[in-house]
Amino acid sequence: MARSQLTEALAAQLKAVVGPQGWSDDPQVLAPHLEDPRGTYRGTASLLLRPATTAEVAEVVRLCHVVGVAVVPQGGNTGLTGGGLPEAGEVLLSLGRMNRVRDLDVANFTLTVEAGCVLADVQATAEEAGLLFPLSLAAEGSCQIGGNLATNAGGTNVLRYGNAREQVLGLEVVLADGSVWDGLRRLRKDNTGYPLRELFLASEGTLGIITAAVLKLYPRPREMQVAFVAVSDPEAALRLLRRARELSGDAVVTFEYLNRTSLELVLATIPDTRDPFDEPHTHYVLLELASGRPGDDLRGLVELVLEEGFEAGEVIDAALAASEAQAADFWRIRESIPEAQKRTGAGIRHDVAVPVSRTHELLAQGGALAERLVPGVRLVFFGHLGDGNIHLNLNQPPGMAAEAFLALTEEVNHAVLDLVMGMDGSFSAEHGVGRLKRDEVARYKSPVEVDLMRRLKQALDPDGILNPGKVVPD
């Protein structure tokens, strides 16, 4: 069936489905739903739907399916690839009102929530039950669990707990024809055919609309230790990571990297931040360990790791947080880098991954390449070294006009991504594909893989009404 545009007749039907609380056509209400956090894209929509139940989502999709009108699901709209923004004539469907906790099963270590629950609220619900939901990212105060699962979000705890994908046991999904797949299983073992759940994780709303999920919970750590460490180079950082994992019985939760420029941008633009050291250093890691074992001398363990790392020449200087406030200060430095970068001029960004064992090569070769392509460029390199995901970000050289720098985006992107792909890497480690990286899917994935993606899309959404123009190349 040919796709068509939202008409007034369909709009009236959809409004009736969701009721007076469930829609808006007020441009001021719609505006924040049409912006993207980096200002790269703008969406267009005349109607925002905010259904409150799975049945309402299903009926909306069914009505749109009948006439071939596209539906774009949206969570907290913190996505960084333009994936949740609609185009004219499409229906924007926000999951924010679907924010109920459906079930908490402490003995099963599971929490069943609706897709519109804000990530920080999910974490808080787990905490109230004395448990932990480990997914954590800087946007957690506004992103929603449905968006996290639809993008398979990563964040800072992946080293220890895995991506969003690994936090799910079951899903409830509204399919392209409006039928509902109830896969809300709370099972840790269930080998009964194809792993359908996996299809919807990281599919960014192109195969189905996630309306609820069964999430895995974990015991809460009793003790955490956070250290800000100056390391001699990224290869030394990798040796330190191994040392820390081995000596601590794998208690490392976070192992984040930042270079000197990243720290300098934060110190220059973010109030109330200060350098943890008196001397400048070139490379830093933020190390966090956690233990749930009573009587574990975690602090002693971290001291041992740092001492051995110092003797082995890996560690140049280290600051072990003496209080929660100091730990928060260290974390603030790391989490403020994207904002600091934004405040410091035009940026070209790469969210890439390589095997952890090759991250030092990536940092060295990526830096050399960028400096060759754009002499004087500022390398804002930081990221999740412990899981291989580095944000190879570049800021305009001092003295170069923003437009001139941004005009180089495509050339720089291709050179950097060619390098990454040549290192068995990924051109999008944790932010997904959306609109931004759809062409890279065609460019960097094999024809066989692209064809498999197209066949899945065709099988699950034959009329192409779910989030068209995203993820799957034309």
# residues contacting ligand FAD (CB under 6 A): 37
Residue 176 is a binding residue for ligand FAD (CB under 6 A): no
Q: How far apart are CA 416 and CA 363, in angstroms?
A: 11
Q: How far apart are CA 212 and CA 420, in angstroms?
A: 35
Which residue number, 271 or 294, has a Cβ lying nearer to ligand FAD?
271
Q: How far apart are CA 73 and CA 29, in angstroms?
A: 16
Residue from 151, 232, 259, 428 touching ligand FAD (CB under 6 A): that is 151
Residue 258 is a binding residue for ligand FAD (CB under 6 A): no
Which whole-number Å values give the CA distances from 44 to 7, 36, 72, 74, in the listed order?
Answer: 15, 12, 11, 13
Which residue number, 209 or 215, has a Cβ lying nearer to ligand FAD?
209
The answer to whether 207 and 460 have CB atoms below 8 angstroms apart is yes
Binding mask 403-442 for ligand FAD (x = CB under 6 A): ---------------------------xx--x--------
Residue from 86, 147, 234, 309 touching ligand FAD (CB under 6 A): that is 147
Residue 95 is a binding residue for ligand FAD (CB under 6 A): yes
Residue 90 is a binding residue for ligand FAD (CB under 6 A): no
Q: Which residue has the tokens 């790791």?
A: 305
First-last CA distance in the chain: 17
Q: Which residue has the tokens 């007076």?
A: 20
Contacts of 99 (CB under 8 A, 6+ apart): 113, 114, 116, 117, 118, 121, 144
Question: Minimum distance between the CB of residue 237 and ligand FAD, rounded to whole angstroms?
Answer: 19
Residue 37 is a binding residue for ligand FAD (CB under 6 A): yes
The answer to whether 126 and 138 have CB atoms below 8 angstroms apart is no
Window 331-350: residues binding ligand FAD (CB under 6 A): 338
Which residue number, 302 or 356, has a Cβ lying nearer to ligand FAD?
356
Which residue number, 148 or 232, has a Cβ lying nearer to ligand FAD?
148
Binding mask 184-213 for ligand FAD (x = CB under 6 A): --------------------xx---xx---
Question: Minimum distance between the CB of residue 320 and ligand FAD, rounded to whole angstroms?
Answer: 24
Q: How far apart are CA 453 and CA 444, in angstroms?
A: 13
Binding mask 57-86 for ligand FAD (x = CB under 6 A): ---------------xxxxxxxxx--xx--
Q: How far apart are CA 88 and CA 373, in angstroms?
A: 38
**Closest residue to ligand FAD in the complex (CB):** 147
Degrees (nearest 5) of the Cα angle 424, 456, 432? 45
Nearest to residue 70, comparing CAs of 85, 87, 91?
A: 91
Q: Hey, CA dihedral for 356, 358, 364, 367, is it positive or negative?
A: negative
Residue 262 is a binding residue for ligand FAD (CB under 6 A): no
The answer to whether 473 and 439 have CB atoms below 8 angstroms apart is yes
Question: Minimum distance between the CB of residue 108 and ligand FAD, rounded to whole angstroms?
Answer: 23
Q: How far apart are CA 175 and CA 18, in angstroms?
A: 18
Which of the ranges 16-24, 47-55, 149-157, 256-264 carries the binding residues for ligand FAD, by CB under 6 A?
A: 149-157
Residue from 71, 153, 241, 263 touching ligand FAD (CB under 6 A): that is 153
Residue from 17, 60, 92, 115 touching ligand FAD (CB under 6 A): that is 115
Question: Minimum distance between the CB of residue 32 and ligand FAD, rounded to whole angstroms?
Answer: 11
Q: What are phi and psi of 175, to 5 degrees?
A: -90, 175
Q: How far apart are CA 340 and CA 174, in angstroms?
A: 39
Question: Minimum distance between the CB of residue 123 and ligand FAD, rounded to whole angstroms?
Answer: 14
Query: Footprint of ligand FAD on this chain (CB under 6 A)?
Result: 37, 72-80, 83-84, 95, 115, 137-139, 143-144, 146-148, 150-151, 153-155, 204-205, 209-210, 338, 430-431, 434, 467, 470
